[in-house]
Amino acid sequence: MTHIRTWADYHPEVFDVFNRPPIEWPCEQIDTGLSPVFQPSIVRSPDQELFTVGVDGQVFHSQDLGRNWSLLAASPPLPPELPEGLSRTSCGTNGVGLTELGTLLVVWGMGASDGGDVENRQEDESYHLFAWMTRSEDQGHTWEPTEPFDPSPFDTIGDQIVPVQLRNGRLLVPFVVQSWTRPGKQVPQSEDILRSYIFSSEDDGRTWSRFSRFPDHSPEPSLLELSNGELVASIRYQRSKVPEDPPDLASDARLYSGSGAPTDLGCQLFQNTAFSSSKDEGKTWATPRITTASAQQSGSILRLSDGTLILTFGRYGQRFMLSYDNGATWSRAIYQLYRCGQYARSIVLDDDTVVTVHDSRETWSFRGRTLRCDDNSVVPKGENVTPWGSGCLGVLRWKVPSRSRVEKEGFFTPREAEIELQ
């Protein structure tokens, strides 16, 4: 094959923006010394107390706008009973929430299997992934579990998430769901995709029911309600090549590694941040629009007091871009805050200071290799590094540049994710 096409051929404006080096932007960097954390999230109370969670259910909080952090409480996992024949393989937190009544919500995930000798989890027909929450109405002194979230008709459920509460009091939380191979039931390649359900609660997070779903290929949504009642979301738009795709459609260099060809079935075609919106309180969602280059995803969508939207994202450290028209266009200027901590979440304080929490990760693992977060270069074999970093809670405090400064670089209009791929 003499010519291949990647996502960049269909989104040249995004490729052009991200083909330039980002603009270094100052931030206050805080090492809390607290651990372990992994892909942390953050929420705030009306009086600006901040909360995040550690891997094992530790609830860390800050009462001085994110400058200092300490252990507030610890939630036990209180996991659901496993089906007969399964045993737990992993259990940890996936997010934190706070309701308008002050109830803390800790999101949990648990993997389980029959204990068979299967090296690759993707080939384990017995693998299950469960999700539930623990609730505390008394600042972490006592806890109770929710019922597990139901992924049916899919098989697994879980994600890095932050529950949000709308002005009407309804709580929403998104979870990724996925089909999984079971004995006698294979998952066709065209169905081996990531989808996200949204669940809702009308009783302060005690009970949850399925509310809606995102378009396909939409893990890790970050939800935000605008002042006009519209909901917007940043999404990790991710999908693999399927038999129905054109033969020359390929994974780009940032995602492709290893044996085979970048045009092979199953290769990653998209792994970008996309933007979507809903005008009916989250019941239906617009087709996602690609806003970042590949391997730059997993962050937050935020709103400042003047209506400015901020899109934060990671993989090459922490970066952000801005929109002044509710996400219709985005800044061509991409700002670099920090070169470590891949997966992070952020909140906005009353004075428009942004507080970002991350896991201090300096390297990450991809297809058997260890890569540096700041430039994606391969760590030479023999160099002593921890693939998942220190696991310590890191915090960034920062403010966005002035609008006049951002406007000098101009704006672009993102296109629908897969328009005219054929």
Q: List the chain pLDDT tens, one digit each, 422 residues.
A: 458 899 999 999 999 999 999 999 999 999 999 989 988 999 999 999 999 999 999 999 999 999 999 999 999 999 999 999 999 999 999 999 999 999 999 999 999 999 887 767 778 899 999 999 999 999 999 999 999 999 999 999 998 899 999 999 999 999 999 999 898 888 988 888 999 999 999 999 999 999 999 999 999 999 999 999 999 999 999 999 989 899 999 998 766 655 678 888 888 899 999 999 999 999 999 999 999 999 888 889 999 999 999 999 987 778 999 999 999 999 999 999 987 777 889 999 999 999 999 988 877 776 677 777 766 778 888 777 665 556 899 999 999 999 999 999 999 999 999 866 65
CA 153 to chain centre: 23
Tell how strand 23-24 and strand 335-338 pair up: parallel
Round to whole Å and give the CA distance between 374 and 367. Answer: 18
In this structure, what DSSP letter does residue 419 have? Answer: T
Round to whole Å and give the CA distance between 296 and 177. Answer: 22
The pTM for the full model equals: 0.94
Three-class secondary structure of residue 55 per DSSP = coil
Q: Which residues contact 100 (CB under 8 A, 6 or more apart)?
A: 46, 165, 169
Three-class secondary structure of residue 313 per DSSP = strand
What does the CA dihedral 287, 292, 297, 303 come to, rounded to 10 degrees? -80
Q: Is 185 exposed, middle or buried (0-12, 13-18, 19+ CB in 10 A)?
A: exposed
Round to whole Å and give the CA distance between 112 and 128. Answer: 5
Round to whole Å and give the CA distance between 271 and 251. Answer: 10
Three-class secondary structure of residue 406 per DSSP = helix
Region for residue 94 given its phi and psi (left: phi exceeds 0; alpha: psi -120 to 50; beta: otherwise): alpha
Using alpha carbons, select from 314, 309, 302 the residue that is nearest to residue 273: 314
What does the CA dihedral 301, 303, 309, 314 come to, rounded to 10 degrees? -30
Round to whole Å and give the CA distance between 360 and 396. Answer: 11
Measured CA distances, 30 to 62, 184, 205, 357, 360 (Å): 12, 51, 32, 10, 10
Percentage helix, strand, coil for the chain under 3-state DSSP, each rounded to 5: 5, 40, 55
In this structure, what DSSP letter does residue 17 have? Answer: H
> φ, ψ for residue 19 (rounded to 5)?
-80, -5
Round to whole Å and give the CA distance between 176 and 343. Answer: 16
Residue pair 138/174 in contact by the 8 Å Cβ criterion: no
Q: Which residues contact 421 (CB under 8 A, 6 or more apart)?
A: 10, 245, 246, 249
Round to whole Å and give the CA distance between 165 and 172. Answer: 6
Measured CA distances, 27 to 251, 336, 400, 404 (Å): 34, 10, 10, 20
